[in-house]
Structure formats: structure tokens, C-alpha cells
Amino acid sequence: MHIEDRSVQDLTQDPDNARGHDAKNVEAIVQSLEAFGQQKPIIIDKEGKVVAGNGTLQAAKRLGWKSIKAVVTRLEGANQSAYAIADNRTAELAHWNDEQLAETLAALENDDSIDAAITGFSSKDIDKMIEGLADSGEIEEDEIPEVVTAVTQPGDLYLLGDHRLLCGDTVMPQQEIDPTYCDVIVKRWESLTGEKAERISAGG
């Protein structure tokens, strides 16, 4: 890959570009270029038409740049058009890990050396995600499902993953658990893990 410095005024936007860049998007790219510089080249054809990076070229013009880094593609015709769409579509198919994103943005918010808004997320968006992260950490009281008749019998021993659950009755030693609560524990464990508890020995 050969990266060239090309004159901005010699480059043209793709008139058939199916991906639009509104004012908010271009402003975000402007802020990114101001903060980080151009970290990846745009892709152009041999005539100087932008294949990938139309928004970057718009932002560069807004900033008054005289030149921009570019790579000249050998793709032509249908292949060039297909690549231009794929370049945008493949990025759209990715997804955010919301919890990790919120944690990273929270760390940036607390870092005085950088403005978190240059990530493209507004302060309002960042505050909302951080609030959601805090809410997800709150522990809600579990509702104990009502079990009318115990399925488990005293002396039953369950295997719950790496754990064992021995069921007794209310008059037996405390390390054994009342059968009614055994049913609740087993159902809750199966619900949370998606696995099936195994009764490895039966009492009664």
C-alpha cells in the first residue's frame, strides 16, 4: 500500500456515493481530525474521485487543509462501487459492547487531558450511558417463586455445575436445606445458567 499526499482541491467527491454525511457527522469528523490528525488515508481512484473517505475529505476542506493522505485503488467499475458500499456496510454490522463503552467513556470523562466529546458522543449521550452503567450495578431483591408442593425429597443430592446441594428438612442440621427451598434454588440456578441440574442421589 502506497500512501500519497494529494492536493485537496484536485480531489472530487463520489457523485454516486450512497452514504450521506450530514452536518453533525461532518462536525464530528472535523473534531476528530483536529484532535488526532489523519490516522488513516482515504481511498481514491486514478482520476482523483473519492471511493472511501468522502466525509473525511469534506472535513478536511472545512479545516482548510491543502493536502490529504490518500491511497489510489486499482479497483474499477462494479468492483469499485461494491467496495465503496462494503466499506460502509461492514462498519455498520459491528455492535457496541454497551457496558465496556460506558466504562471507557466514564474514564475519559474523568481524564482532564482529553475532551470525551471528540469521540463523537455528545456529553448528553455520555451522561446517559454512565447513568445506565450505575443503574445496572444496583442489586434488586429477588422474588422467591411460590412452590406449593416440593418436588425434592429429604436426602436428595443435586449437582449444580461445580456445586452440590443436599436437601433435608427443617428439623435436620442447618447444612441441609428444606426441600421447598431446594426446589427454588434449583429452578433459579437453571434459569440463570441455562443448564439442567442433575439429581445424583435420591433420598426418601
User: What is the chain's mean pLDDT, rounded?
Assistant: 83
Grid cell, residue 70, equals: 490518500
**Residue 138 pLDDT > 60, yes or no?**
no
**Cα–Cα distance for residue pair 35/128, rounded to 1 Å:** 24
Q: CA neighbours within 13 Å on the CB side: how many for 156?
A: 21
- Please spell the DSSP secondary structure of 172-194, one letter per residue: S-TTSB-HHHHHHHHHHHHHHH-
Distance CA 173, CA 168 (A): 8
Question: Are 158 and 167 a contacting pair, CB within 8 Å?
Answer: yes
**How confident is the model at residue 149, as a pLDDT?**
59
| pLDDT score for 55 | 95
* The pLDDT value given to residue 74: 95
> What span, in angstroms and rounded, lies between the C-alpha atoms of 2 and 24?
31
pLDDT at 80 over 90: yes
The pLDDT assigned to 131 comes to: 80
Residue 26: phi and psi, rounded to 5, are: -65, -40
pLDDT higher than threshold 60 for residue 144: no
- φ, ψ dihedrals at 42, nearest 5°: -85, 165
pTM of the model: 0.60
Give residue 135's pLDDT: 63
pLDDT over 80 (residue 128): yes
> Domain spans of the chain?
3-92, 98-136, 157-201
Give mean pLDDT, residues 187-192: 80
CATH code for 3-92? Answer: 3.90.1530.10
What was the pLDDT predicted at 143? 53
**Residues contacting residue 203 through CB under 8 Å, at least 6 positions apart:** 153, 154, 155, 156, 157, 167
Task: Give the pLDDT of residue 154.
Answer: 78
Cell reading at 129? 450511558
Measured CA to CA, the distance from residue 90 to residue 71 in angstroms comes to: 20
Q: Looking at residue 172, what is its pLDDT?
A: 46
Confidence of residue 30 (pLDDT cuts 50, 70, 90): very high
Instruction: Read off the DSSP letter of residue 64.
Output: T
Specify the pLDDT at position 171: 47
Whether the predicted pLDDT of 110 surpasses 90: no
